[in-house]
Structure 1
Amino acid sequence: MADRPEDPRTGDHQELMSLLGAWALSACAPEDTERVEAHLNDCGRCAEEALRLRDAALLLQPQGSLDLDPKLRARVLDGCLARRPATQPVPAWAAPLDSEAARLDALLNDITEDEWRTPVELRWFDDHEGWLGRTTTVSGVLDHLLAVDGLLARAVGLPDVLPDAGDDPVARTEARWAGARREADAWRSWREQTQALVRAAAGTGGRTGERTVPRAAFGDPARLPGTGPELPLSDAYLDRAFACWVHADDIARAVEYPYDPPLGPQLRQLVDLAARRLPQSIARRRRAGLAVSQPRLTTAGTPGRTLHLEVEGPGGGHFYIPLDSPVATVSRTAAREAVARLALDDVVFCQLVAGRITPDEAASGGEGDLLVIRDVLCAAAALSRL
């Protein structure tokens, strides 16, 4: 006599049903996979659910089309994690790097062999030399990401793919570009390093700003907010997520593929990182004699004049930027008495910070001291790097 299907009300059924999301993503342990598949032979309801989840999971594979809803990956993963929480969840500050790396990986899977050699222009702004650029290829962009991400990998205890290239991001990129490799090598090395970085973040855990790493490990002190010897590990991860998105967009434009900005909550983290970098950039330009607005002496620790930066869109928010003392905290009184207000779209603000558009192209709504607004726009552009 054949065994009767187990009662759906039993605890065993509930446990196996909770594994369906992980099974659809091929993330079950071997013994759990055998149990789930045996259960699917006897339970029609779970078999239908498993088929639906497996179809959705296939859309998450690199073979998926770029025409997919960009929110699909997040929805499916959220559904799976709701059924069975991750043992080591990716912290919120590393989620943007995880998402942007997955999106870039999908883009790379969709391009043709010839498109790997498509010229890609990288632009940035230098206070003294003006707008600069380098032309590379799709694989050259990955080599650049790999080289600079390697500094973060080394800071969290992972192997550095360029152990002898030092700490300077530009020198590391040049060293990587000097080697001859196949396109697939750059893609594989970048993917493996990024996945290792995300796993390291999951193993580290913690809240935003809780853990720190030496600032000197990243070579360029102007790349990240603050001035102290230590910087938040979360900021280092957000910086690499920002770079991943910007360079993925560079590639997409070069090969004429559509590419959306990050999801709103993650874009908000990248906007916040850029806004926190602004005060130091303003101060550096003023010390170099590049500011067009007049300086104002302030008491040590007070913000002096303040600009209200209003970033619009799903990644936006309100930021109050100190103009005369970069390390000061802006009080409510100083915020209410801001000498200027600047409104920018969230993506436009990030493009300006990345050096993809000029201050004139970014200029949108502004009121108050126009010279201060000009200084802030130029300081945002000066945050860009190769």
Structure 2
Amino acid sequence: MTTDAYDHAAVCELLGAWAVHALPPSEQHAIPRHLADCADCAAEAERLRETVRLLDGPDAPTAAAEPGTAARNEPNPMVMSEPTPATRNAALARILAVRPPAPRTAPHAEPYAAAVAALRALLAELDPQPDGGPDLAAWRTPVIHDWTVQDTVAHLIAADEHLAAHLGLPANHPQDPQGAAAPGDTDWRTAWDTRTHRVIAHERTRPPTATVATWRAQASALLACPAANDPELAARAATLVGVRLPVAEHFLIRAFETWIHADDIGRALGRPVPPPPAAHLWRLVRLAVRILGLALGPTAEPVALTVTDAARSTEWILGAEGEPVRAELVLDPVDFCLLMGGRLAPEAVPRAALGDEAAVRTVLGRAARLAWL
């Protein structure tokens, strides 16, 4: 990318990785040229620099001067010292936890924009090496199922295609005979798995950076399309991944899956990935509760589900209406999402429960069986 290509939006997306010295040298030194002319980006860069400096501690080495500039007594705020691996992990988690999503979208697409930005920052950690090339060993790290890091990104390409195809965006790979997304197919899980296998097989023939570029381009196209920016268009219903919901809520599903797989990758690599911001997390919780309620149906034994953390608590009654509640179940919002995402087993999820244990097990088991990730 040339220096001229660094517009404001591009720099906003790169600042998190830049702050932890996770960009290739060509990009690491090009960013300050934009910061010199953009007060907003410069202020954000200084905040992120201070975060890393605090995490490094008082004995951290000071940054070197930019090539071609005179050395000063104070550190150059536009050049980062090289953090330790532990500091880099902590800084990355801190940055992803507070960094606003980019690009700007309508509110219904903001959780997806934030999840994409977080995963991009995490993947940027795998690129810079002393020789300027990617860390191929890291990209081949087993993550989940039989997928490596690269395979997991390839799966997201295939998964995002379902919404992208519905919104009329072009496909990134040759289409399956029945179409990439098969949005109305009653056997959607088979179509989902088949498409994932085909895309992963294709991406294994390409460099990891090419896989990431394809995923980034598709995610950017989704966030730039009219449905991501027009609430009226997003209110229209679509049947995808076996459920009929407004397009706005399908954007939430994309946010949910992107976060879960970013967390998968972070755990595999030993790099912490924070949960979504609280406002986004609770939107995911509400959507998950709605889908769980539909899956349980109106005849299930009524269970009072409370999702609670230190700042908020919300209760829903799942199952038959008008019947006495048979049990009470209390879950943390992150744990509930990990259960719905298939990352916590029903018997292992931390919980508090009272009443009919069989009714509780029914709710937990149905939540776990809904996972397709």
Q: Could you state the TM-score of these two structures normalised by the residue count of structure 2?
A: 0.68
Q: How far 1:339 moved relative to its partner?
A: 2.2
* Corresponding residue for residue 136 of structure 2: 113
- Cα deviations across residues 150-202 of structure 1 (Å, max 9, x unaligned)? 11111122112245223221111011122222111111101111111111257
1:250 matched to 2:264: yes
2:116 corresponds to which of 101, 109, 112: 101
Q: How far 1:25 moved relative to its partner?
A: 4.9
1:194 corresponds to which of 177, 198, 219: 219
* Corresponding residue for residue 214 of structure 1: 238
Aligned-partner residue type, residue 267 of structure 1: L
Aligned-partner residue type, residue 116 of structure 1: W
Aligned-partner residue type, residue 156 of structure 2: L
The runs of 5 or more residues in structure 1 that have no matched partner are 1-20, 27-36, 79-85, 122-133, 225-229, 284-301, 325-329
Counterparts in 2 of 1:355 and 1:120: CA distance versus 1, 3 Å = same
Please say which structure displays the higher CA radius of gyration: 1
* Corresponding residue for residue 176 of structure 1: 199
**Alpha-carbon contact 2:304-2:325 (below 8 Å) kept:** yes
Aligned-partner residue type, residue 267 of structure 2: R
Q: Distance in 2 between matches of 1:106 and 1:56?
A: 17
Aligned-partner residue type, residue 121 of structure 2: A
1:323 corresponds to which of 316, 319, 324: 319
Q: How far 1:213 moved relative to its partner?
A: 3.9
**Alpha-carbon contact 2:292-2:367 (below 8 Å) kept:** yes
Counterparts in 2 of 1:201 and 1:73: CA distance versus 1, 3 Å = farther
* Corresponding residue for residue 311 of structure 1: 307
Alignment of 1:138-157 (within 5 A): 138-157=149-168
Q: Distance in 2 between matches of 1:68 and 1:304?
A: 45
Aligned-partner residue type, residue 108 of structure 1: L
2:343 corresponds to which of 352, 356, 363: 356
In structure 2, the residue corresponding to 1:342 is in which secondary structure? Answer: strand
Q: Distance in 2 between matches of 1:351 and 1:266?
A: 15
1:338 corresponds to which of 307, 320, 325: 325
1:266 matched to 2:266: no
Aligned-partner residue type, residue 90 of structure 1: T
Q: Distance in 2 between matches of 1:177 and 1:69?
A: 27
* Corresponding residue for residue 365 of structure 1: 352
Counterparts in 2 of 1:269 and 1:23: CA distance versus 1, 3 Å = closer
* Corresponding residue for residue 9 of structure 1: none
**Alpha-carbon contact 2:228-2:234 (below 8 Å) kept:** no
In structure 2, the residue corresponding to 1:93 is in which secondary structure? Answer: helix
2:105 corresponds to which of 87, 90, 99: 90
Q: Distance in 1 between matches of 2:118 and 2:12?
A: 17
Percent of aligned pairs with the same amino acid: 30
Q: How far 1:24 moved relative to its partner?
A: 7.8
**Alpha-carbon contact 1:310-1:316 (below 8 Å) kept:** no
Q: Distance in 2 between matches of 1:50 and 1:248?
A: 25
**Alpha-carbon contact 2:106-2:228 (below 8 Å) kept:** no
**Alpha-carbon contact 2:92-2:122 (below 8 Å) kept:** no
How many residues align structurally? 291
Q: How far 1:319 moved relative to its partner?
A: 3.7
* Corresponding residue for residue 13 of structure 1: none
Q: How far 1:54 moved relative to its partner?
A: 5.0
